[in-house]
């Protein structure tokens, strides 16, 4: 029996989901996405889990969607209308749109660690993560342009929101790849680590996130997404609304009182 296309394990408060088709360059299949959605719901619904880490085995993080998946009975019929193609993108594709929307909605941080090339659908999945970490050997590309189409499951919409129109043109219109350092310059990834220490560095990053306050983390994730699309004054209202809840939290009240008292004690001793 072949190994599952996705493995899960727990490291303290971190749920680790590992793409596990190294012989197929971790191309995404229906099984991959079903197992990933199951892991995502476990992460969402388990209070003890604070961070989700997505990583992969083998030399590729992901080569994109497996175009041969489910073709044992022959190739599927080709859609002949624009409506049919748009609806397939929205409702099919192994539920990618639904899953990526849920990743963005969950009020906990999701981290992806790219140890190698990250292509097409693998990059689109990564764009719905809150943090993207790269090994020096990582690289990024959207090959869809070679076939005269666009990456249409985050590849334009989410990419442009993250790196801006300037670099979105580079990856999509010019159809050029980016190595890890250029991806860092773009703002596509948050950190670039040495290959030799990458696995530990990614886990250390997740352990750091797991120590942060959960309520603050959830509010920050929502506030950042909302504020990006609002005017400055409306964005400040989002901040005020979020803090009006956070500052009533007993943890905050106790913590700020302790901090203020410690300042007073220090001043008296000087």
Q: List, as one string, the DSSP characters of 159-226.
A: HHHHHHHHHHIIIIIS---EEHHHHHHHTS-SEEE-GGGHHHHHHHHHHHHHTS-HHHHHHHHHHHHH
Check residue 14 and give its pLDDT.
Answer: 98
267 vs 173, more confident: 173
Check residue 92 and give its pLDDT.
Answer: 62
Task: Look up the CATH number of the domain holding residue 131.
Answer: 3.90.226.10
Task: Look up the CATH number of the domain holding residue 256.
Answer: 1.10.12
Q: What pLDDT band is residue 183 in, cutting at 50, 70 and 90?
A: very high
Domain hosting residue 238, numbered range: 214-269
Q: Is residue 1 part of a domain?
A: no
**Angle, in degrees to the nearest 10, between helices 96-105 and 30-45:** 20
Contact status, residue 111 vs residue 219, Cβ threshold 8 Å: no
Rounded distance between C-alpha atoms, residue 46 and residue 103, angstroms: 15
Residue with tokens 């220490």: 197
Cα 79 → chain centroid: 30
pLDDT in tens, 246-268: 998 888 888 888 888 888 666 66
| pTM, 2 dp | 0.89
Rounded distance between C-alpha atoms, residue 174 and residue 241, angstroms: 42
Q: What pLDDT band is residue 26 in, cutting at 50, 70 and 90?
A: very high
Rounded distance between C-alpha atoms, residue 83 and residue 141, angstroms: 27
Region 8-33: mean pLDDT is: 96
Region 46-75: mean pLDDT is: 84
Judgement on whether residues 102 and 218 belong to the same structural domain of the protein: no
Judgement on whether residues 177 and 243 belong to the same structural domain of the protein: no
Return the closest-CA partner of residue 16 out of 59, 63, 62, 57.
57
Judgement on whether residues 138 and 195 belong to the same structural domain of the protein: yes
Check residue 229 and give its pLDDT.
Answer: 86
Region 134-145: mean pLDDT is: 95
For residue 57, the number of C-alpha atoms closer than 13 Å in the C-beta half-sphere is: 15
Report whether pLDDT(93) > 70.
no
Judgement on whether residues 174 and 237 belong to the same structural domain of the protein: no
Alpha-carbon distances, residue 121 vs 89, 94, 125, 128, 193 (angstroms): 12, 12, 6, 11, 23
Q: What integer best gives the mean pLDDT of the chain?
A: 91
For the chain, what percent of residues have pLDDT higher than 70? 90
Contact status, residue 109 vs residue 221, Cβ threshold 8 Å: yes
Residue 120, Ramachandran bin (φ over 0: left; ψ between -120 and 50: alpha; else beta): left
One-letter-per-residue 3-state SS of 23-53: HHCCCECHHHHHHHHHHHHHHHHCCCCCEEE
Region 77-105: mean pLDDT is: 79
Check residue 255 and give its pLDDT.
Answer: 85
Check residue 66 and give its pLDDT.
Answer: 85
Check residue 75 and give its pLDDT.
Answer: 53
Structural domain ending residue among the three candidates 189, 210, 231? 210
Region 191-195: mean pLDDT is: 98
Check residue 65 and give its pLDDT.
Answer: 86
Rounded distance between C-alpha atoms, residue 43 and residue 48, angstroms: 9
Contact status, residue 164 vs residue 143, Cβ threshold 8 Å: no
Region 1-27: mean pLDDT is: 94
Judgement on whether residues 195 and 218 belong to the same structural domain of the protein: no
């Amino acid at each position: 029996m072949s190994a599952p296309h996705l493995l899960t394990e727990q490291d303290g408060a971190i749920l680790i989901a590992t793409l596990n088709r190294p012989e197929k360059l971790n191309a995404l299949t229906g099984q991959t996405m079903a197992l990933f959605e199951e892991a995502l719901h476990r992460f969402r619904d388990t209070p003890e889990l604070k961070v989700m880490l997505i990583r992969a085995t083998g030399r590729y993080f992901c080569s994109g969607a497996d175009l041969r998946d489910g073709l044992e009975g022959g190739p599927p019929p080709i859609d002949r209308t624009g409506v049919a193609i748009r609806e397939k993108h929205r409702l099919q594709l192994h539920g990618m749109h639904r899953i990526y929307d849920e990743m963005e909605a969950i009020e906990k941080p999701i981290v992806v660690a790219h140890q190698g090339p990250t292509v097409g659908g693998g990059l689109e999945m990564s764009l719905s993560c809150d943090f993207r970490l790269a090994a020096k050997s990582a690289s990024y590309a959207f090959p869809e342009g070679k076939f005269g189409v666009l990456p249409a499951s985050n590849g334009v919409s989410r990419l442009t929101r993250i790196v801006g129109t300037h670099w979105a043109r580079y990856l999509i219109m010019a159809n050029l790849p980016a190595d890890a350092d250029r991806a860092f310059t773009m703002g596509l990834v948050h950190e670039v680590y040495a290959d030799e220490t990458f696995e530990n560095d990614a886990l250390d990053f997740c352990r750091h996130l797991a120590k942060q306050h959960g309520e603050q983390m959830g509010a920050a994730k929502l506030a950042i997404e909302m504020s990006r699309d609002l005017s400055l004054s409306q964005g400040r209202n989002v901040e005020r609304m979020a803090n009006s809840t956070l500052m009533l939290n007993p943890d905050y009240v106790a913590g700020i009182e302790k901090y203020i008292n410690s300042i007073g004690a220090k001043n008296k001793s000087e």
